[in-house]
Amino acid sequence: MRGWTIAALMLALAAASSPLAAQQSAEQVLQNAKDSYGPSRPAPKCDKDSQDPDVITVCAELEEQEQFRVRTDEEAENDYARETMNKGRTPAPNVDGDGIFKGPATFRLSAPEAALIIDLEEIPDAPEGSDAARIGNGDKGS
């Protein structure tokens, strides 16, 4: 709002000093604004010559509104439906309780490989004088 006030004041000062220059300057400012920010559309196709000169004819084509939208109507409707789908409804309670696995189900189609079973009684004693025998008897060596 303040920007418009300053611009209006500047235009008023310019108009007071030189009416013709101010008029041209103001028209140029407005034209620049229209060129920069106004919608770009082709001139309407209108047959003004065949109309009665005493009648004011207004020609305009319907403009495609899609250029002003961020998303399509269908996308907006789908977003709204998704966001308000359970509005006002209390969600179902979680009956699983704490500590229960909530990830995807896991299962195995084949049995795991059998574990190796080693019978320690079947291992033969270490030969006399070997390092294994000395360590087994508690001799740490020299």
Query: Where are the strands (E) in the chain, listed by range?
Result: none
Whole-number Cα distances in Å, 60 to 40, 41, 42, 63, 100: 14, 10, 10, 9, 67
> Can you give the residue ranges of every domain in the chain?
2-84
- Rounded to whole angstroms, the Cα distance separating 24 from 31 reads 10
**Which residue type, as a one-letter code, is found at position 46?**
C
- Rounded to whole angstroms, the Cα distance separating 141 from 47 reads 117
N residues, the chain: 142
Q: How much is the pTM?
A: 0.21
For the chain (142 residues), the mean pLDDT of every run of 10, in chain order, is 56 59 75 75 64 75 75 89 89 72 72 83 89 85 61
